[in-house]
Amino acid sequence: MFPREYRGVAFVVGLFLVVQIGALALVPEFVESGYQAVENPDDPTNSLVYILAILTMTGLMLAAFRYDFDQAIRLLIVGVSAWLSWYVFSAVLSPVAAAVPALAVGVALLVYPEWYVIDTAGVLMGAGAAGLFGISFGLLPALVLLSLLAVYDAISVYGTEHMLSLAEGVMDLNIPVVLVIPLSLSYSLLDDGADESGET
């Protein structure tokens, strides 16, 4: 690998660590604030509910991409980004004050979706979602969910291949579902997109 590629790998590892450490740091605040999503975290049927939600959302996204409702998906993901960011910011700010930076995340994604905006939103989403999942799943439900997701991933990538269709659908939406790993700080996702549009 070239030095730039090493920096890219280091950036990926850094993002991963920030998400994980951030999630762990948020857990006590989330517990204290009562953000637990289910009444009994040790109930294994919680995993089935999440799997059904994932399958439903997958179907809706595939339909949206097929019938050219891409922007609806973009708005939905941006809204979810702002919502999860609110959870993160509410750990250090009052609920009302946390709405300000959370809305700023959503607006930034809509107005100026540069790579660092997308990655920042992705880190906030990841830490917030991981923290919420962490307090909402006991050990057994978590194992059940991860096992079911592993099977689902294998089927969706190597069987039906609809996961590849989803990935293709979100690539051009500039949303924090797929993070951007630049090999240079001078890289501009917006300029790159503009160049590709000009070539077509």
In sequence order, what are the residues at sequence separation of 6 or more whose Cβ sits closer than 8 angstroms to the Cβ of residue 171?
A: 178
The reported pLDDT for the residue numbered 1 is 58
**Closest-CA residue to 81 (of 199, 173, 183):** 173
148 part of a folded domain: yes
78 part of a folded domain: yes
What whole-number distance in Å separates Cα of residue 188 and Cα of residue 41? Answer: 43
What whole-number distance in Å separates Cα of residue 164 and Cα of residue 87? Answer: 30
198 part of a folded domain: no
Q: Looking up tokens 């637990």, which residue turns up?
A: 36
Secondary structure of the chain as H, E, C letters? CCHHHHHHHHHHHHHHHHHHHHHHHHHHHHHHHCCCCCCCCCCCHHHHHHHHHHHHHHHHHHHHHHCCCHHHHHHHHHHHHHHHHHHHHCCCCCHHHHHHHHHHHHHHHHHCCCHHHHHHHHHHHHHHHHHHHHHHCCHHHHHHHHHHHHHHHHHHHHHCCHHHHHHHHHHCCCCCCCCCCCCCCCCCHHHHHHHHHHHC
171 part of a folded domain: yes
In sequence order, what are the residues at sequence separation of 6 or more whose Cβ sits closer than 8 angstroms to the Cβ of residue 176?
A: 77, 81, 109, 118, 119, 121, 122, 125
199 part of a folded domain: no
The reported pLDDT for the residue numbered 2 is 65
Tell me the residue range of the domain where 103 lies.
Answer: 3-181+188-193
State the Cα torsion 13-14-16-18 to the nearest 10°.
160
What whole-number distance in Å separates Cα of residue 112 and Cα of residue 120? Answer: 13
8 part of a folded domain: yes
Question: Whole-prediction pTM value?
Answer: 0.86
- Per-residue confidence in pLDDT tens, the chain, 200 aa: 567 788 888 999 999 999 999 999 999 999 999 998 888 889 988 888 889 998 999 899 889 988 989 899 999 999 999 999 999 999 999 999 999 999 999 999 999 999 999 999 999 999 999 999 989 988 898 899 889 999 999 998 888 888 888 888 887 888 888 888 888 878 898 888 666 545 44
The reported pLDDT for the residue numbered 191 is 86
In sequence order, what are the residues at sequence separation of 6 or more whose Cβ sits closer than 8 angstroms to the Cβ of residue 148?
A: 47, 48, 51
The reported pLDDT for the residue numbered 38 is 85
* Structural domains counted in the chain: 1
**Mind listing the pLDDT tens digit for each residue in 134-168?**
899 888 988 998 899 999 999 988 888 888 888 88
What whole-number distance in Å separates Cα of residue 36 and Cα of residue 45? Answer: 16
